[in-house]
Amino acid sequence: MMTRPFLLLLACLLLAHASEGESQAPPLFQPDARYKADLLIVIAHPDDDMVIGGYLARISLDDRKRIAVVYCTNGDGGGNVVGNEAGAALGQMRILEARRALSAWGIENVWFLNWHDTPGQNVLWSLDRWNHGLALDEIVRLVRITRPEVIMTFLPDHVAGENHDDHQAAGVLATEAFDAAGDPTQFPEQVSPPRNGGMANLTEGLLPWQPQKLYYFTDAFEDFGPYWHNAAELSPFRKSMMDGRGPTYETTTISPSRRVSYARLTVDQQIFYLTQEGSLGEQALKSQNFKDFAYPVRLIFGKSVVGGSPTGDVFERVLKSPAPFVRVRGYEPEHPDGLSFEMGDPWRFYSLFWKAHNLDHLAELIPVPEVAAKFGDKLNIALLACNQTQSLAEIALTPALPTGWTDQTTFTQYPVRPGECYPIQAQITLPASGKPEWQQLTWTAAAGSRQVGTVKLRVYAGDSGGLPQ
């Protein structure tokens, strides 16, 4: 015979079982709205945001766009014009300079990846020092956290200008992240749901995210931004690489909310970057002369998965709902035959990179490679001779240089076996002084009496050549 307490317990258990079966799961959490951005900026150093400062003021203060910023380095390789602090100590200071500068406009979703600042001009140096794959992992994660419709970054190209390799590397990584963040097979641990609501999760619970539009800015001579202002430095060999390539935002326009120009508002950002630009901003405020900040913000259209014209507004055609994933072409092997001769890395890398990421039009910006160098400098130029024949080729190299320039390349003849590409380092020294101007250098490769090819390089020789080449 069952006792009364036992029957009661049985009834409770049955009831509990029934209600468990019908219980409703709670709705899923939405992605955290505090980190949602309309625009994500991926740059290299604290103060790079100054290049597009007038645009950032416009869209944060007047268009009320939400902006997030990723700095790949803390600028620990930079100079300091107001103190002795350098290296890691300077890096810590520059982090705060950037946070304060951006918070002047209410931009607080700011991340530092803290890779080392690598002063140079070869993008592959920065990508190597930043542990390329790990850096991409972090940027893809931040794209999935911030879910931006638009990404803006430096132009991934070798330009004559400041041409900082860290700037270029930020552009390469942001482009790769644009194409990877919507793909759940890329960094899948980021998009795998966590097992517990609590601690000790080993996956991240993010969602894939396809940004819609990608824009570039540049520190090339043509930019006329904060870095360069000298029209004599512009390449005479081609039309401007900026004209018609994207929208331009004037900074002499008056901000409706602040009733001063965007150039004047850029000073509110600059005054925090004391270690880099000193008292430039303070002086402008004192004199009420903002001409140094009145450079237009000129963008280069990268790509869009929602259409729109290259020169249209950045947010033209942007969808409110998430965009579906769009696959890019990826690397496709080329099958040259015979003997060939071309520029080596980093130019060779870019020619492959643009195609792989559906950015073929970037190849039109600077059709013949260009660099800037200082009088007395040594130029290291990578060339590549390939042999897709069945027999050994002896490739002979002949440079044609401007008067006073000297060739210090170690070898003139290279044995290239079938199926091999021989990387050649040409070394050219500029004359000790001269008239600042553009010059053209040519290398011709021949195998016996057979012409293999010609490579051209255009060099601006001046009194300042920028970073180590």
Contact residues toward Zn ion (CB under 5 A) are 44-45, 48
DSSP run (H or E) holding 43:
strand 39-43
Q: Could you tell me if 42 and 177 are in contact, meaning their C-beta atoms sit under 8 angstroms apart?
A: yes
Cα 302 from Cα 155, distance rounded (Å) = 9
Residue type present at position 28:
L
Which of residues 51 and 151 has its CB atom nearest to Zn ion in the complex? 51
- Provide φ and ψ at 165, rounded to 5°: -65, -30
User: 398: which strand partners?
Assistant: 444
Contacting residues for 367 by C-beta, under 8 A, at least 6 apart: 238
- Residue 222 is classified by DSSP as G
Residue type present at position 466:
G
Cα 142 from Cα 31, distance rounded (Å) = 13
Which of residues 48 and 377 has its CB atom nearest to Zn ion in the complex? 48
Q: Could you tell me if 159 and 245 are in contact, meaning their C-beta atoms sit under 8 angstroms apart?
A: no
Which of residues 15 and 96 has its CB atom nearest to Zn ion in the complex? 96
Which of residues 94 and 144 has its CB atom nearest to Zn ion in the complex? 94
- Provide φ and ψ at 462, rounded to 5°: -145, -170
Long-range CB pairs of 127-134 (<8 Å, 24+ gap) are 127/169, 127/172, 127/173, 130/72, 130/73, 130/169, 130/173, 132/173
Task: Tell the smallest beta-carbon distance from residue 47 to Zn ion (Å).
Answer: 6
- Provide φ and ψ at 47, rounded to 5°: 115, -10
Which of residues 44 and 457 has its CB atom nearest to Zn ion in the complex? 44
Task: Tell the smallest beta-carbon distance from residue 378 to Zn ion (Å).
Answer: 24
Task: Tell the smallest beta-carbon distance from residue 361 to Zn ion (Å).
Answer: 25
Which of residues 91 and 344 has its CB atom nearest to Zn ion in the complex? 91
Which of residues 171 and 182 has its CB atom nearest to Zn ion in the complex? 171
The tokens for 202 are 């080993």
Q: Is 29 exposed, middle or buried (0-12, 13-18, 19+ CB in 10 A)?
A: exposed
Cα 338 from Cα 452, distance rounded (Å) = 9
Task: Tell the smallest beta-carbon distance from residue 126 to Zn ion (Å).
Answer: 11
Task: Tell the smallest beta-carbon distance from residue 43 to Zn ion (Å).
Answer: 7
Q: Name the nearest CA neighbour of 443 among 429, 453, 433.
A: 453
Q: What angle (nearest 5°) sits at the alpha carbon of residue 36, between those of residues 35 and 40?
A: 95
Q: Could you tell me if 395 and 452 are in contact, meaning their C-beta atoms sit under 8 angstroms apart?
A: yes
Task: Tell the smallest beta-carbon distance from residue 400 to Zn ion (Å).
Answer: 35
Task: Tell the smallest beta-carbon distance from residue 446 to Zn ion (Å).
Answer: 42
Cα 43 from Cα 25, distance rounded (Å) = 42
Which of residues 44 and 362 has its CB atom nearest to Zn ion in the complex? 44
Which of residues 45 and 245 has its CB atom nearest to Zn ion in the complex? 45
Task: Tell the smallest beta-carbon distance from residue 162 to Zn ion (Å).
Answer: 7
Closest chain position to Zn ion (CB): 45
Task: Tell the smallest beta-carbon distance from residue 164 to Zn ion (Å).
Answer: 5
